[in-house]
Structure 1
Amino acid sequence: MNTPRMGNNVVIGENVTFGENVSIGHNVIIYDGAKIGDNVLIQDNVVIGKQPSRAKNSILPDVKQLPPTVIGSGCTIGTSSIIYANAELADDVFVADLATIRERVTIGEKTIVGRGVAVENDCKVGVKCKLETNCYITAYSELGDYVFVAPGVITTNDNYMARSAERYDKFKGITIKNGGRIGANTTTLPGITIEEDGAVGAGSIVTKDVKQEELVVGTPAKVIRKVPENQLLRNQ
């Protein structure tokens, strides 16, 4: 096994594997079985492979032990970030300080997860996405490739607002297809889909699906126009 460069007070569990040229900061915890690729930078106070704690009244499945975390080559994990068990980061993912990536989440190559971002359980994020500072990606969401989510965006997944057992099989997060974009401080209602190259203006509340290449703005968000040709994903 390759031996990483390590700071002080590092705790490494059993059967953790490291690629070449891994650097680990101070006060890092890496739980059993985690797989760390080549050229990975893990900064101070990071936790990798944390098993989730389940509240007594949680609707999440009671899983005793989730599979280990997988961190691809070339990743950076910022200070005080937490990457849960059964999360998988592809190569060259950048996770900024204070971010949280929950269990059963996959993050595609070269995606940026910004400072303070929370990606909740059972989400899929594509390649070369940008999730900006303090945005919240609710559980059961799926983001395609080249998706942009601006700072302070809030997504939701529970139309019943925790008031009925009927909601248990109806949770649905946001779906953002390739090239979709959401402006700062936007809120989306549960189950919203933003089609390819759809865009949402800053400060909007999205109550209906956004069609391909539409720009919507306002409270509630309404269609303003088609996204300009020079801003479409196919021209990037």
Structure 2
Amino acid sequence: MADHSFFVHPTAIIDEPCEIGEGTKIWHFSHVMSGARIGEQCVLGQNVLIASNVVIGKGCKIQNNVSLYTGVELEDFVFCGPSCVFTNVINPRAEINRRAEFMRTLVRRGATIGANATVVCGATIGRYAFIGAGAVVRGNVPDYALMLGVPARHCGWMSRHGARLPDPDTDGIMVCSVSGWRYRLVAPDTVRCEDWDEEKELPALS
């Protein structure tokens, strides 16, 4: 591609037309298919597949051996750990063409998908949720939720800075050990950050 505002390793394959944002890096043996849209300042590790019509926001980090199939959408600043798995059909069969049955999977801003985790299609992963390594997610995940195990179970809450939050106090407040920011448990499955506008980007950590 003539646009040099992003980096593509010589071994990577880019099918046109597609969109790749400024400052994005695409490393060894990766493949971006036509119709994909990748935001600014993303990093795609080795052997990453971005299928047709996949949408990736800015600042995402996709580690080695990850395939994002048609129907997957990542919002800004999502982290996909090595060899994590996304599906786009519930009941695949090699003998049956199910392209018309692809389901949408949405990973919302700032979420982390751990190494070797599996996200079954049709799920929405909430903002800043944390899916532990090897977990298997079969349904929607709340914002800030920590999900562990097979199948994945809700085991606690994580801050936007990636620290596990303590149990809430009598006012429902949990304080991040890294940032000092406060989070409030406003319902059994709902946490809100008290100290930063949910719609704004995180400030740089000092």
Whether the TM-score (by the shorter chain) exceeds 0.5 is: yes
Distance in structure 2 (CA, Å) of the matches to 1:81 and 1:168? 26
2:159 match: 228
1:145 match: 76
Aligned length: 166
2:50 match: 119
Distance in structure 2 (CA, Å) of the matches to 1:235 and 1:183? 24
Query: Which AA in structure 1 matches 2:30?
Result: A
CA 93–221 in structure 1, closer or farther in 2 if over 3 Å, else same = same
Q: Secondary structure at the match of 1:231?
A: coil
Distance in structure 1 (CA, Å) of the matches to 2:152 and 2:15? 34
Alpha carbons 2:107, 2:124 under 8 Å: kept: yes
Which segments of structure 1 move beyond 2 Å, counting only runs of 4 or more? 162-165, 167-170, 228-236
- Cα offsets for 1:194-215 (capped at 9, x unmatched): 0111110001111111111101
1:213 match: 144
Distance in structure 2 (CA, Å) of the matches to 1:210 and 1:88? 29
1:160 match: 91
Structure 1, unmatched stretches of 5+, are 1-33, 41-72
CA 168–81 in structure 1, closer or farther in 2 if over 3 Å, else same = closer
Structure 2, unmatched stretches of 5+, are 164-200
Query: Which AA in structure 2 matches 1:228?
Result: S
* CA apart distance, 1:81: 0.5
Percent identity for Structure 1 against Structure 2: 25
* CA apart distance, 1:169: 3.3
Matched, 1:191 2:122: yes
Distance in structure 1 (CA, Å) of the matches to 2:104 and 2:135? 17
Q: Secondary structure at the match of 1:169?
A: helix
CA 115–146 in structure 1, closer or farther in 2 if over 3 Å, else same = same
Distance in structure 2 (CA, Å) of the matches to 1:229 and 1:188? 21
Alpha carbons 2:128, 2:159 under 8 Å: kept: no
Alpha carbons 2:122, 2:139 under 8 Å: kept: no
Distance in structure 2 (CA, Å) of the matches to 1:153 and 1:173? 17
Alpha carbons 2:110, 2:160 under 8 Å: kept: no
Superposition RMSD on alpha carbons, in Å? 1.8
1:97 pairs with one of 5, 21, 28: 28
Q: Which structure's CA Rg is the greater one?
A: 1
TM-score normalised per structure 2: 0.75
* CA apart distance, 1:164: 5.3
* CA apart distance, 1:101: 0.6
Alpha carbons 1:110, 1:128 under 8 Å: kept: yes
* CA apart distance, 1:168: 4.3
Matches within 5 A, 1:1-236: 34=1, 36-37=2-3, 40=4, 73=5, 75-162=6-93, 167-228=98-159, 230-231=161-162, 234=202
